[in-house]
Amino acid sequence: MKKFIIVILILLFNMNLNAQNKRPLTVDDMWGMKRLLEFDVSPDGKLIAFTMQHFSMETNKGNKDIWLINADGTNQRVLLNSEANESTPKFSPDGSKLSFIKESQIWQCDLNGNNEEQLTDMYTGASQIVWSNDGKKILFASEVYPDCQTQDCNKMKDEAKANDKADYKVYTELMFRHWDSWRTEKRSHLFMLDVASKEFFDLTLNSRADVPPLALGSANDFSFSPDGSEIAFVMNLDKVIATSTNNDVFIINVNDIQKGKETPYKKISLSGGNDSQPVYSPDGKYIAFNSMERAGFEADKQRLALYNRITGELKYVTENIDISLGGISWDIDSKYIYYDAANEIFNSIYKINVESGENTIILKERVNAGITAAGNKLYFRQQQSRLPYELFSMNTDGSGLKQLTFLNNELLSQIEWYDTETFWTEGAEGAKVQSILVKPPFFDESKKYPLIFLIHGGPQGHWNDDFHYRWNLQMFAAKGYVVVATNPRGSSGYGQKFLDEISQDWGGKVYIDLMNAFDYSVANFKFIDDKNLFAAGASYGGYMIDWIEGHNTKFNALVSHDGTYDMRSMFGETEELWFPLWEMGGTPWEKPEEYKKWSPSTYVENFKTPMLVIQGGKDFRVTEGQSFQLFTDLQMKNVPSKFLYFPNENHWVLSPANAKIWWSTVFDWFEQFKR
């Protein structure tokens, strides 16, 4: 008995010691995490190659390397780790080589990293890699002048512009800039490389359309048929792409390709909405792709479209299933398609029988992406709020889930944190609304904690159980806050009707959904300090923070990051015009009252709550003018306010040093207004 008591005391001592050794998550921890990006499975299913990215606070830069691991999770080793970025690993069809992108060119090497060979030597560079099954050809993209048939032509045009002493841009059409880049005369074209001869062919010569498309495409927008006789790809041929979501799927007969000549292509998609991600079935009978029905709506339901290459018939397999598809992957027998889709706070994995339409969920929990089917196994990336992306596998029936990589185990083991919890509240018109709850490190039920109420962007997006490198729920909690992140109207993962009901109602039902969840949290979670309540959001979340500023005084202080403030000026400043056209129901001159009604700027006379405004200078989606107006109005109203401006950041804060400033400024702002 005495020995038993001693053993128990030792165990308790060790548990207490382990708890004392843990600490809250820091910004340095978050940026110190190794990031697992894209991966590829070898043809024999025995090896996996993946890209691993790591960042340095000292250099304020990141680097990408390529690693190999056995498909059972053993023998993880680095393959390529030079000072140059290596990415986009793709096994050759015979499995003897690995191709990759380095310094904007396609290379390949042996599976031990030796005998590197450069496959392309293009002035305009190369991106993305798709092999033909016979290993003789590669598809890739490159940005070129549409009418240039040679690389010398592209070089000469660039040099002529560089030698012009005047600094100017001339535009005659929309869109003239996108996200964080000014558009030039160049377009992304689809090329085919003959691997043996190193000769390449521009398959979209003279086209002013981009392949892959400029916006709303996927990570897989061109591919070879299994026999290599045909190519499927995505582009948008509409005249004004700033108002069009009409990406379409086209096919090219490989035998029609001739260097220096336009290649005829055929459109196989039919909808006026966004069609993307064409993937051939292994038996060559079908091309599957994602298809949105409604023109101009970027967040419409992604249906599974199936094009029969023999009959030319096109059918929509998931027409009657209220799920919006993400990435898709065929099984080896061409009977099933595996796909991921938003599902409440998860991104779940499903399989669907393409003939019968029978749909089955095979993995609900966590956030899963990048599914690759290989034999009787599925390989994919998985993350949760306490785990950055790692490689996982499972059997095709959903059994045998296994984690293969453990890139951050040592660092993760040092952090004290809690799994996400969820709760449901009643929103506008009786809708059920889900929220995520995250408790701070070393949580004590008997204590009171300040609250951070978070509002997501999109607005057609959702908070999920992920490890986010910008709006990280665990990072917000790490400074001793309870975090509530609500998925109101407009959130994905709760059916298309729930998502649709934010359009033309930006401050309506969604605002009620949010405030009801907030009020419920404060009233029902006794560990929340009702004297210290804060809120923050970015993009649409920033819009809603601005809306709250003019509609209630429930919070001690607010944070608005790159948020829309004035809908009328936003229309003239943004680039993807289909977005305000759909969300407001037309142009400002067609719907002037709608633009005025849903503009936070309309309610400036009510502004009272202290606000931190944050903006990136290279954000062309929600431009700096929106934040300039907001901060000016706050200052003129004598509302306590601060403006944090990053001249070289876009819609997100992407550099380690700037991210550190972002987090410290946000937390300092909240601390300033604690009671």
Question: pLDDT-based confidence at 8, cuts 50/70/90?
Answer: low
Q: Check whether 234 has a pLDDT greater than 80.
A: yes
Buried b (16+ CB within 10 A) or exposed e, 93-119: eeeebbbbbbeebbbbbebebeeeeeb
Range of the domain at 624: 416-672
How large is the average pLDDT for residues 274-283? 98
Provide the 10 A C-beta neighbour count for residue 198: 11
Buried b (16+ CB within 10 A) or exposed e, 277-286: bbbbbbeebb
pLDDT tens figures, 380-413: 999 999 999 999 999 999 999 999 999 999 999 9
Q: Check whether 9 has a pLDDT greater than 80.
A: no
Give the closest residue to 205 by CA, choosing from 129, 154, 161: 154
In-domain check, residue 267: no
Question: pLDDT-based confidence at 4, cuts 50/70/90?
Answer: low
d(CA 233, CA 226): 15
pLDDT of res. 249: 98
In-domain check, residue 285: no
Q: Check whether 544 has a pLDDT greater than 90.
A: yes
Q: CATH number for the domain including 659?
A: 3.40.50.1820
In-domain check, residue 151: no
In-domain check, residue 459: yes
Question: pLDDT-based confidence at 11, cuts 50/70/90?
Answer: low
In-domain check, residue 185: no
Q: How far is CA 673 from CA 137, 476, 557, 644, 668, in A?
A: 62, 16, 7, 17, 9
In-domain check, residue 435: yes
pTM here is 0.95
In-domain check, residue 101: no
pLDDT of res. 18: 52
Give the chain's end-to-end CA distance (angstroms, integer). 52
Beta carbons within 8 Å of 544's beta carbon, 6+ residues apart? 455, 507, 510, 511, 514, 537, 563
pLDDT tens figures, 49-92: 999 999 999 999 999 999 999 999 999 999 999 999 999 999 99
Phi, psi of 433 (to 5 degrees): -125, 130
Average pLDDT value for the chain: 96
Q: Are 56 and 31 in contact, with CB atoms under 8 Å apart?
A: no
pLDDT tens figures, 176-225: 999 999 999 999 999 999 999 999 999 999 999 999 999 999 999 999 99
Q: For residue 188, give the H/E element and its range.
A: strand 187-194
Angle, nearest 10°, between helix axes 540-549 and 509-524? 70
pLDDT of res. 406: 98
Based on the number of CB atoms within 10 Å of its own CB, is 349 exposed (0-12), middle (13-18) or buried (19 or more)?
A: buried
pLDDT of res. 17: 46
d(CA 529, CA 675): 10
pLDDT of res. 20: 64
Question: pLDDT-based confidence at 369, cuts 50/70/90?
Answer: very high
In-domain check, residue 502: yes
d(CA 639, CA 363): 49
pLDDT tens figures, 493-518: 999 999 999 999 999 999 999 999 99
Q: Is 292 left (phi over 0), alpha (psi -120 to 50) or beta?
A: beta
pLDDT greater at residue 9 or residue 281: 281
d(CA 437, CA 453): 10
How large is the average pLDDT for residues 303-325? 97
Per the structure, the count of domains in the chain is 1
DSSP string, 521-533: HHHH-TTEEEEEE
Phi, psi of 528 (to 5 degrees): -90, 130
